[in-house]
Structure 1
Amino acid sequence: MRKWADRLINLKEINTLRNQIFVGFTLTMTLVLTFAGVFIYGEVSVLLKQSAEKHIEQTAIQANGRLEALLKQIDWLTTQVATDSYVQKLLSKELQGTPSNFNEHQSLLQIANNYMAYSSGISSLELYTLDNRRLFPLEDSSLTNRISENALSAADQKKGRIAWIGIDPRSPDTVLAIRRINMLNNSYLPGGYLVVNVNREYFNMFESEGNDPTERREYMLLSDNKGNPIMSDIDDEVAQSVLAQTGSTVTIGQERMLAVRQLSDVAGWKLVLLMPEEAATEGISVLRTVIYVSISVAAFAFLLVTLLLSTMITRPIQRLMRSMRSAKFGGLKLNPASRNRFRTLEINELNNTYNRMVTHMNELIQVVYEKEITQSRTELKALQAQINPHFLFNTLEAFYWSLEEKGESELAQTILSMSGLFRYIIGSSADNEEWVTIHDELEHAQRYLQIMKMRLVDRLHWNIDAEKELLQVPIPKLIIQPLVENAILHGVESRISPGSVTIRVFSTKPGLATVAILDNGSGMDEETLAKLLQSIEGITSTTPKKGAGLAMSNVQRRLKLYYPIASEHDSGLQVESEVGVGTIVRFNITIPPKGDEG
C-alpha cells in the first residue's frame, strides 16, 4: 500500500501545471520544428535536383550544339572537296573511260592536304570512282571492301549529302563518313564517292575546357545511330549498358546517375550526358546538417524559454496555493504581492482577487459572528414577548363579542376581519409558512377589502372572480394583497367618484395561471408608466406617485425568485394603464402537476 501511495504522490507531482505547460509547449514546438524541417528539406531537395537537371540539360544542349558545329565543319570541308574543279574534271574523265595517270593522282594529294589543313579532326580522305575503284590514295582497293553495302546504299540515298557510317573497322580510333560526288556539269549524275576518316578525339566535348576527368561532375557519351559508342568518358562496356537503359536516371554499377539525352539532327547520333545523383544533390547533405543543427539549437532554446515561462506562470500560483492551504490551520490570510517584475497581468489580477476575497470573507465572518450574537439576544427577547400577539388576538376577540352583544354587527365583522388579517400576517413569521393556496391568499385580500370598505364606504366597490380548479394552486404568501393595496391607494383614492377593484384568477395556457388586479382609477400616461416599470425592475431610485413602485418592486423580486423557469414574456409583473380608463396589473404562476402540490 505504501508503494502505491508513493506512486500516487509522484504522479501528482508530475501532473502539475508547470509540467503540463512545459511538456505541451515542448511537444508542440517539436512537431512544428520537425514539420518545418521535413518540409524545407523536401522542397529544397527538389529544387536542388531540378537545378542540377536543368544545369546538365543546358550542358547537354551546349555540347550537342558544339557537336553539330563540328559535324557541319566536316560536311562543309567534304562539300568543298566534292565540288573542287580538279576532282570534278578527274571523275568526269573516269566516267568517259579515260584512266587517270600518276601525276593526276599526285595532284589529288596536294588538294587533299590543302583541305585537311582546315580541320585537325580529319585523319584521311579517300576518293573512289563510280565503279568503286580507289583513285586516292594510290592503292589497289575497292570501295565495297572498304565499307558495307548498307553504308554505300545510305550514301546513295543521301544524294550528295554526307552519310556518317560509324567507327571505322580498319581504324577503331576514327569515325568513317561517306558522300556521293555528283557531277556539276553533267546534270548532277553520280560520279564517285568521297570517304572521310575523322579522329574520335575530335568529338570530345570537354577537351576544350581542360577539366581533369577525375574532377568532372558530368560525363559524356556519344554514340552513332547504331548504338555504338563513338566518344565516351567511361568504358565501352559500361557505355553499352548505359545506352541500353532508358529514363531520366541510369545505374552504373552501384551508382545512380542523372541522364540527359540529345539527338543530333545532322548525323542522327545520340549524345548522353551523365551526372552522379550525389553530385547533383551534394548540397542536400549540407542542408540536412544545417536543418538538424537549427532544430537542435531552436529546441534547446525553446526548452529553456518554456521552462522559464512555465516557472514564471506557476510560481505565483503555487505561492497562492500555499496561502490557501494555510487557511485551515490559521484562518484566511492575505497573499503578499510578489516583487517579480515579470509577473503577468492575469497572475496579478488572480492574486488581487484572492486578497479581495479573503478580505471580504473575513468581513463576512465578522458580520456573521456579530449577527449570531445579535440573533441570540433577539431570540431571548422574542421569547419574552411571545405572549404579545396572543394578547392582541384575545383583545380583538373581546371587542368582537362586545360589539355583537351591543348589536354592532357591521363593526364586529370589521373587527373580525382585522383579527384574521393580523393573524394571517403575524402567523407567517411565527409559523414560517411561505407558501399558501390561492384560496387562502384571496380570503386575506377579501378581509383587507372589507376593512378598506369600512374606511371608504361607497367610494369602493370590489369583486373577486376565480376559477374553482385554481383555488388550491400554491402561491407565495402575501403576494396579492400588496397589489390590491396599491390599486386602492393609487387608483380608487385618486378618483372623486366611486371606484372599483377586481381580482381575477384564470388560466389561458396549460400549466400557467394568471392573477390580475384591475382598477378604474385615473390611470397613467406613457412616461409615468415607464418610470413605474423602471422602479419595479430596480433600474432607477426615483418612484412615481408617492412611492407606488415600492410594494410592486418587492412582489417583482419574489416572483422572479419563485418562478425562474417561466419565459421572459410570462415572468414577473405586467402593467397596462391608460389615462382615464384605469390600470391592470397581472402576473403568471406555474401550476404544478397533480401530486406535486405539497
Structure 2
Amino acid sequence: MRSRFQPLNTLRNQIFIGFILVMLIMMSVAGAFIYLNVSHLLKDSAERHIGQTAVQASGRMDALIGQMDSLTEQVANHPSIQHILLKERNGGKVNFGQRQSLLQVMHSYQAYMPSVGSLELYTAEGKMLFPIREGSLEDRIGQADIREANQMKGRLVWIGIDPEDPRSLLAIRQVSLVDRWFSRGGYLITRMERSYFRLSDASAVNEEADETMLLVDRQGQLLSGEPLNQTDLSGVLHSKTQTVHIGEREYVKAIQQSERTGWSLLILIPVSVVTDGITVLRTTLIISASLGAVLFLFMSFMLSTLITRPIGHLIQAMRRSREGALALNPEPAAAVELRELNAEYNTMIVDINELIRVICEKEVLQSQTELKALQAQINPHFLFNTLDAFNWSLQEKGEEELAGLMVSMSRLFRYVIEPAHHDSWVTLGEEMAQIRRYLELMEMRLGERLSWQIHMPSEAAQIPLPKLLIQPILENSILHGVENRIGNGRVEISVTPSTRSGWTKIAVIDNGPGMTLEELAAVRTALMGGSVCQSKGTGMGLVNVQRRLALYYDNESYPTDGVLIHSAEQEGTVVAFEIPDEYGGR
C-alpha cells in the first residue's frame, strides 16, 4: 500500500498538502468565529427589534385602553345618567321618557368614537335601562365579571369576547354615584369592534418583517389580529421556549402583558425572517471561503513550484553528473537558500573537474616517467653486469679511482631506472646521495672547471619528497651555468629551514653567466604557462619540476609557490623551491 503512494511522496506534494491543511484549519477557525459572533449579533438585533416592536404596540394598546377608559368615565359621570341611576337607587321609578333621553347621550359618545358598537346601562340590581328593552346584567355577562367590576370600584374591567357577537369585545365598569358618596349606582357595558385593537400599524416595518401581532385574553383566546391556524393560544402563552410552532411554521415569540386588562400582546416573527441574515452570512462565508480556497490553492501551487523546481533541476544535474557529465547548473533560484545550494553545487563541480584534471595530469606524467624508466631499463642486468666487469677489471689493473667511478655510475643507473613497482617517494638523504654520485661523475668529466658543495643538516635527511625532483635543476645549473662559464664553475646545493613553519627550502646555486631580464622573464613565463623545455641528461626540465610540485603540493593543506628563480647577468642563478616536512613518504 505504501509503495503504491510512494511516488506521490514528493517535497512539492508535502508542501502543497501542508499549506492546504493549514488553510483549512485557519479558515475553519476564522469562519466559525465570524459565524458565531455575527449570528449572535443578528440574533440580539432581532430580539431587540422584537422587544422594541412589543413596547411600541403595548404603548399603542395602552393608549387605546386609556381612550376607552376616558370615554366610559365621561359616560358614567354624565348628569343624565347620574340623575337616572340616583333616582333608581333611591327607589324611584324611571319612566320611558327618561330612558328615551339616554339615546341622544349614548349616540353622541358613539359618534365621538365610531369603533364603539354600543353602550349598555344597567341598574345596581342588574336591570337594563338602555337600550330600551328587557334584559338583565346576569344574562349578559357572568357573575365573575360582575364581581370583578364591583371590586374595581369604578375602574374599567375588560371582559373579552362578546358572547352574543364574537366579532365584538366587551368592557364593564361600575357607575359610582357622585351625589351618594360614590356608592354603586349601576353598570355601564361597552361593546366595541375587534378592529379597535388593530395593532399591526404600530410599527412601520411590520409588513416588511412579516410580523404578526395578536391580542390574547387570559384564557388564550384570540381577541384581535390576523387569525392563525391555531385559535387556542394558551399553549403558546405558557411555553417557556423562545420559539413556538403554529401550524407548519416556526415563530420567535415576544409577549407583553397589559396590567390594566390582563390581556397579552403576542408578537410572532417567523424564524426564517430572523435567520435570513444568518443564511446570507452563511452563504457569504461559503462563497468567500471557496474563493479564498481557490486563491490559496493557486498560491500554494505557485509557492511549492517556486521551491521545488530549482531543486528538481539540481537533481537532474546531479543525475547527469553521475552519468559522467560534470556540468554546471546555471538555473537561477529566487530563494536565497536555493541560490546558495546551487552555488555550492557549482563550486563542487568546479573543484571535482579541477581534481580530475590534476589526477589526469599526474597519471599522464607518471606514465611518461614510467615509460622513460622502462625505456632506460633495456636489458638493465646486462648494463649492470658490464659495469661490474669494468669495475673488477680496473681493480685488477690497480685503477682504484676509475673503479670507484664505475661503482658510482652503477649506483646512479640503479637509482634512476629503479623498477616501476618501487615507490616514487624517497627521503631527502637518499636524494642527496644520488646528487653526490652525479656530481662526482660530472667532476670527473669537467675536471677543475667544476667544484661543488652540499649543505644539509642531519635532521633534514628524513624529509620525504618525489624522486629525482632536484636532479633536473642540478643538470640545468651545470649545463647552462658551469659549462657556459669561462674558468672555474661552482655549484652549491643548500637545504635550510623555510620561513614558514614546518617547511624546508632547497636551493641550487651556481656562479654561471646568469640571465638577462628578457631571458629570466621568458623562463618564468614558460613555468607559469606549462610549456616544455627539456634539459639535457635526464629529459626532465624545470617545467617538469614545476608541474610535479603543483601536482604533489599545491592544495589547501600544502600550498606551494612552485619553482622560484633569481638571476642576473654575471652574477649566477639561484633556483629554489620549498616542500613540507611531513608530506608523502614511503
Fold agreement, TM-score > 0.5:
yes
Where in structure 2 are the equivalents of 1:18-33 lying within 5 Å?
Answer: 18-33=12-27
The answer to whether 1:14 aligns with 2:18 is no
Which residue among 197, 202, 218 is the counterpart of 2:211? Answer: 218
How far apart in 2 are the matches of 1:387 and 1:23? 69
What is the CA distance between 1:355 and its match in structure 2?
Answer: 1.6
What letter corresponds to residue 214 of structure 2 in structure 1?
Answer: L
Structure 1 counterpart of 2:312: 318
Structure 2 counterpart of 1:327: 321
The answer to whether 1:356 aligns with 2:347 is yes
What letter corresponds to residue 349 of structure 2 in structure 1?
Answer: V
What is the CA distance between 1:346 and its match in structure 2?
Answer: 2.4
What letter corresponds to residue 67 of structure 2 in structure 1?
Answer: Q
Structure 2 counterpart of 1:40: 34
Instruction: Please state whether the residue corresponding to 1:261 is helix, strand or coil.
Output: strand
The answer to whether 1:167 aligns with 2:161 is yes
List per-residue Cα deviations over 1:398-438 (Å, max 9, x = no partner): xxxxxxxxxxxxxxxxxxxxxxxx99x99999xxxxxxxxx
The answer to whether 1:127 aligns with 2:103 is no
Structure 2 counterpart of 1:88: 82
How far apart in 2 are the matches of 1:208 and 1:252? 23
How far apart in 2 are the matches of 1:209 and 1:106? 44
How far apart in 2 are the matches of 1:62 and 1:252? 24
The answer to whether 1:196 aligns with 2:194 is no
Instruction: Please state whether the residue corresponding to 2:169 is helix, strand or coil.
Output: strand
What letter corresponds to residue 348 of structure 1 in structure 2?
Answer: R
Gaps (5+ residues) in structure 1? 390-421, 430-598
Instruction: Please state whether the residue corresponding to 2:180 is helix, strand or coil.
Output: coil
The answer to whether 1:103 aligns with 2:97 is yes
List per-residue Cα deviations over 1:349-399 (Å, max 9, x = no partner): 22122222333344455567778989x99953527956999xxxxxxxxxx
Structure 2 counterpart of 1:568: none
CA 1:275–1:381: 2 relative to 1, 3 Å: closer
RMSD: 3.4
CA 1:41–1:200: 2 relative to 1, 3 Å: same
How far apart in 2 are the matches of 1:356 and 1:210? 81
How far apart in 2 are the matches of 1:309 and 1:210? 55
What is the CA distance between 1:171 and its match in structure 2?
Answer: 1.6
What is the CA distance between 1:279 and its match in structure 2?
Answer: 1.4
Which residue among 14, 37, 57 is the counterpart of 1:63? Answer: 57
Structure 2 counterpart of 1:232: 225
The answer to whether 1:382 aligns with 2:426 is yes
**Any conservation in 2 of the 1:155–1:179 contact (CA below 8 Å)?**
yes
How far apart in 2 are the matches of 1:64 and 1:104? 40
TM-score (normalizing by structure 1): 0.59
What letter corresponds to residue 355 of structure 1 in structure 2?
Answer: N
CA 1:11–1:171: 2 relative to 1, 3 Å: closer
How far apart in 1 are the matches of 2:431 and 2:362? 25
TM-score (normalizing by structure 2): 0.60
The answer to whether 1:138 aligns with 2:182 is no
List per-residue Cα deviations over 1:14-33 (Å, max 9, x = no partner): 11111111221122213322
**Any conservation in 2 of the 1:221–1:239 contact (CA below 8 Å)?**
no
What is the CA distance between 1:40 and its match in structure 2?
Answer: 2.4
What letter corresponds to residue 151 of structure 1 in structure 2?
Answer: D
How far apart in 2 are the matches of 1:86 and 1:205? 35
What is the CA distance between 1:269 and its match in structure 2?
Answer: 0.8
List per-residue Cα deviations over 1:90-118 (Å, max 9, x = no partner): 21111111112222112211111111222
What is the CA distance between 1:273 and its match in structure 2?
Answer: 0.4
Structure 1 counterpart of 2:251: 257
Percent identical across equivalent pairs? Answer: 41
How far apart in 1 are the matches of 2:291 and 2:180? 86
What is the CA distance between 1:74 and its match in structure 2?
Answer: 0.4
Instruction: Please state whether the residue corresponding to 1:309 is helix, strand or coil.
Output: helix
**Any conservation in 2 of the 1:25–1:306 contact (CA below 8 Å)?**
yes
CA 1:141–1:356: 2 relative to 1, 3 Å: same
Instruction: Please state whether the residue corresponding to 1:117 is helix, strand or coil.
Output: helix
How far apart in 1 are the matches of 2:168 and 2:84? 27
Q: Which moved more, 1:63-72 or 1:84-93?
A: 84-93
Point out the structure with max Rg over C-alpha: 2
Which residue among 309, 315, 335 is the counterpart of 1:344? Answer: 335
CA 1:80–1:325: 2 relative to 1, 3 Å: same
Structure 2 counterpart of 1:242: 236
How far apart in 1 are the matches of 2:258 and 2:61? 8
